[in-house]
Amino acid sequence: MPKKRLVIVGNGMAPGRMLEHLFDLTDQYEVTIFNAEPRVNYDRIMLSPVLSGEKTFEDIIIHGDAWYADHGITLHKGQKVTKIDRDMRTVTSEGGITAQYDKLVIATGSNPFIIPVPGHKLPGVLAYRDLNDVDGMLEAVKKGGRAVVIGGGLLGLEAAAGLKMRGMDVTVIHLMPSLMERQLDPAAGYLLKRELEGRGIEVLTEANTKQILGSDKVEGVELADGTIIDASLVVMAVGIKPNTQVAAECGLAVNRGIVTDSTMKTSDPAIYSVGECVEVGGMVYGLVAPLYQMARVAAAHLAGASDAEFKHAETPTKLKVTGCDLYSVGDFAEGPDREDIVLRDAMRGTYKRVILKDNKVIGAVLYGDVADGAWYNEMLKSGEDIEEMRATLIFGQAYQGGGAADPLAAIAGLSDDAEICGCNGISKGQIMAAIKDKGLTTLAEVRAHTKASASCGTCTGLVEGVMSLTLGDSFVIPAAAGMCPCTTHSHGDVRRLIKAKGLKSIPAVMQELEWSTPEGCAKCRPALNYYLVCDWPGEYVDDQQSRFINERVHANIQKDGTYSVVPRMFGGITTPDELRAIADVADKYDIPTVKVTGGQRIDLLGVKKEDLLPVWADLNKAGMISGAAYSKGLRTVKTCVGTDWCRFGTQDSTGLGIKLEKALWGSWSPAKLKLAVTGCPRNCAESTCKDIGVICVDSGYEIVYGGAAGLHIQGTTLLGKVATEQETIETICALTQMYREQGFYLERIYKWADRVGYDHIKEVIYDDLEQRAAYYERFVYSQKFAQVDPWAEFVSGKDAHEFAPLATVKLEAAE
């Protein structure tokens, strides 16, 4: 039976989610998508972190090219639809592409509202709706100067914070007396204004724009009161309006948006509509949670008979600015029939307000302390009578019934219908059911199967709490403490902020992120040094003082105070000359133990500290360099003999291992990396318990990763199979670079993969060739600045004190 033709106009988040639901329900459609943007589907919620530098575009892609190919979808990029012929059931793009449909979904989104003041068409005036706008702002950032953001709502403030983090001076102009007046009351708006001003952002409320100044580009903004603000960039973020043009032109019912019924069907029964372009029940929506509900309902009806209907629900508001915690839901307007309960803590800078009507919660505004937002939202939805808890309501759920002793009491007390992930409309019960039905045990698995916390990520703590309640002791909520006692920031926060703020030295990081100690400690300094080395190759100079003793002297300290020296042998291959040099050094310096390591190298154990420099000098004369047995980086690439000698070998595993080791050698990573290449599935080189492994087969190379064989034991996960040595090397280098950029210091690759998700890594590195190439290019670039062997410098006349441990930070104790 031939498939029905489903055509979708628009490729935003709502139609993307609709297709996910549809493919879960049926395969009866052949899908064609017309996207006005020249790219794949991405998470618009996360444009602000891209602007601030906390994420890249690749990080926010929802469906890469491989996803469309896997589902047989025809995606026309950069093809805006200009005509819908309802009689012929065709759509036509501005590029002349025509497609016929049996069912059509219009998801044209919204257009930004541009204030038609004089100068609004000057170069340098931008809206803030899509990636093109972000790219335009980033181009302006390169030139510096001042950005004026017109609009103090969600998008305007996110744009302002992002531009400030990129280094621009920023002024926010807002017409109303307080910021985000639709989502916050004046008290919370005051706290938000104070927070932004504390970050160096100028905020002007009750300010009306008269005109934008400039002749051939933006030069300034004039306000109605005559104030003139110099500016090189103006961002308008004053609202959106549904994009209904193509729907109106083909005769569909249009009011504020494209009118649909509760099943998302338009006035034409063959045409559905979802997203910001829709008007359903007399309402239009701009937040993602109701758009995803539309997607679910439309998918159900496209798949066949269904009773699914769109129902209005209050959607919480959150601001995606690092460090600004606010939560708002419901109705918080004042009135004679309403009662306010307010809690202010001036010292902590927190504000909580719950609005009651007839003993029921009808709204809540939280700033600074938002932990109870989901609880208040659940009471709002359920209409629960709060009379008995009125005296303690404002203190949160943990104070009801003595639950404060249990940190999970608040989540345990939520009903199964309580919404946990507002972006995706996922309830506590849905998460628990997925965990039980599918045997989910990690956050990455829960995200993959339910989408909970997969969008903006602010509900991650709640999701982890639900997992802990469902899985019991088998799941431990990761600690949210700072990376060390010197800071409250986590490793993730520090990594993001180093990039976002352009911090390029340890003192800069400590100053900007408000370290509580003058020079850091043995935990944070090595981590900061690694992050800076990784993030700013060629700009940041590796700080040897911030490395452990083993890394500084290029040898592993032993329990008796002597050292272990391991020369590098690429792929485990050596020569008679190298062996003679090792034997001569062992004799000359009376080294008591010579041992073959598990990584196919020779270890000289018991070297006195005073002999380290001359030992390395003698080995260096024979062409031998440090094996980096101490490093947070590549240790070894273990190999078997492969096709050279073994009758079972399918590929040149030794040769590939040497190429991999030479490609990866010298680069730092969050923790040690051990690789292996085995010439056949018999796996003599033990590839399946390494950080990264290659298993050679007749038709190519299987790449596996995430193994461990120390205190923690686990097998590897298959990344994928490739056909050539070169593709193997490029894929492994790209995987390594992704790990380097995202891993936390001392976090082994399997822990990183557990945290971010094996499926996500596969999508990025194996399925998406463009992203793989981008990571590989960054790896190759960073290798230009990777640490070369330092011993040539030490033995060519540098003073020995540069080699000796430095006393600024006592890292030896931490080792």
pLDDT of residue 743: 92
**Secondary-structure class of domain 125-238 per CATH:** alpha beta
Q: Which residues are annotated as a binding site for siroheme?
A: 684
d(CA 420, CA 426): 6
Phi, psi (rounded to 5 degrees) for 757: 105, 125
Q: Which residues are annotated as a binding site?
A: 640, 646, 680, 684
Cβ-in-10-Å burial (0-12, 13-18, 19+) of 573 comes to: middle
Rounded to two decimals, what is the model's pTM? Answer: 0.68
d(CA 756, CA 743): 9
Q: Which residues are annotated as a binding site for [4Fe-4S] cluster?
A: 640, 646, 680, 684
pLDDT digits (tens, 9 = 90+) for 487-517: 878 888 888 888 878 889 998 888 888 888 8
DSSP-assigned letters across all residues of 32-63: EEEESSSS-EE-GGGHHHHHHTSS-GGGGEEE
Question: 4-109+242-303 and 125-238: same fold?
Answer: yes
d(CA 376, CA 379): 5
Residues 160, 165, 166, CA angle at the centre, nearest 5°? 100
Phi, psi (rounded to 5 degrees) for 665: -65, 140
Give the total residue count for the chain: 815
Residue 23, SS3 per DSSP: helix
Partners of residue 111 on adjacent β-strands: 241
**How are beta strands 419-421 and 426-427 bridged, if at all?**
antiparallel
4-109+242-303: CATH topology is FAD/NAD(P)-binding domain (3.50.50)
d(CA 299, CA 308): 10
Tokens 């006195």 — which residue?
Answer: 608
Quote the tokens at residue 96.
């002349």
Residues 376, 316 contacting (CB under 8 angstroms):
no
Single-letter amino acid code for the residue at 217: K
pLDDT digits (tens, 9 = 90+) for 148-160: 999 999 889 999 9
634-783: CATH topology is Sulfite Reductase Hemoprotein; domain 1 (3.30.413)
Residues 212, 122 contacting (CB under 8 angstroms):
yes
Using 50 as the pLDDT threshold, list the residues of the chain that sit under it: 402-405, 480, 788-815
The total of other beta-carbon atoms located within 10 Å of residue 508's CB is: 15
Nearest to 636 by CA among 658, 614, 617: 658
Residues 208, 122 contacting (CB under 8 angstroms):
no
- Domain positions in the chain: 4-109+242-303, 125-238, 491-546, 634-783
pLDDT of residue 410: 67
pLDDT of residue 408: 64
